[in-house]
Amino acid sequence: MKSIILIGYMGSGKTTVGKQLAAALGRTFYDLDWYIETRYHSTVAQIFAEKGEEGFRQIEKSMLHEVAEFEDIVLSCGGGTPCFFDNMDYINSVGESVYLKATPQVLAEHLRMRKVERPLIKGKSEEELLEYIQTSLKQREPYYLKAEHIIDVTLLDNYDKLQTSVHLIREELGL
Ligand code: S3P
């Protein structure tokens, strides 16, 4: 069976949903950022600080190829993964891709408390964060929209967001 690969902007819930989806399907879960951190004995923030974004993107690409070798997994990518090199075409060639789509407002709300560990948004005020998301989502969405499946998580009620997202993905994939 093909692996399921979750993509989407930071704060769209890729890791939380991916973990739960993997548990529901009895598959192994991988998060690309965590995989990189384990392999490099370093946090994503440290890699950005030491090697710059360009260095991080090179590592991210090679780790994507490494982890994609594993079979039948659920993989959550980083928000930028599909938007560099030929990563999105590669993702589509090795797995079944699912884009977790949300509005900038919802993403900003999710990211408000989780800015520190993300080098691209660290230190931004609330207004700067929303503005940054609006601009970069516009640049990134053409890549995200190449996904085979799109799940809109914007309107899901916070209360049962996780379960509903997992349910919608399973329904969409026929699993
Ligand atoms: C990034 C998203 C992060 C991480 C890095 C860069 C991005 O992953 O890979 O900070 O470019 O959007 P999450 O989407 O899991 O936060």
Question: Is residue 165 within 8 Å of 153, Cβ to Cβ?
Answer: yes
Nearest-CA residue for atom 10 of ligand 1: 118
Q: pLDDT tens for residues 32-50?
A: 999 999 999 999 999 999 9
- Round to whole Å and give the CA distance between 107 and 101: 9
- Round to whole Å and give the CA distance between 129 and 114: 12
pLDDT band at 71 (very low <50, low <70, confident <90, very high): very high
Distance 117 CA to ligand 1 centre (A): 9
Distance 77 CA to ligand 1 centre (A): 8
Q: pLDDT tens for residues 102-120?
A: 999 999 999 988 887 899 9
Tokens representing residue 118 in the block: 């993300």
Our measurement of the distance from residue 112's CA atom to the centroid of its chain's CA atoms, rounded to an integer in Å, reads 17
pTM for the model: 0.95
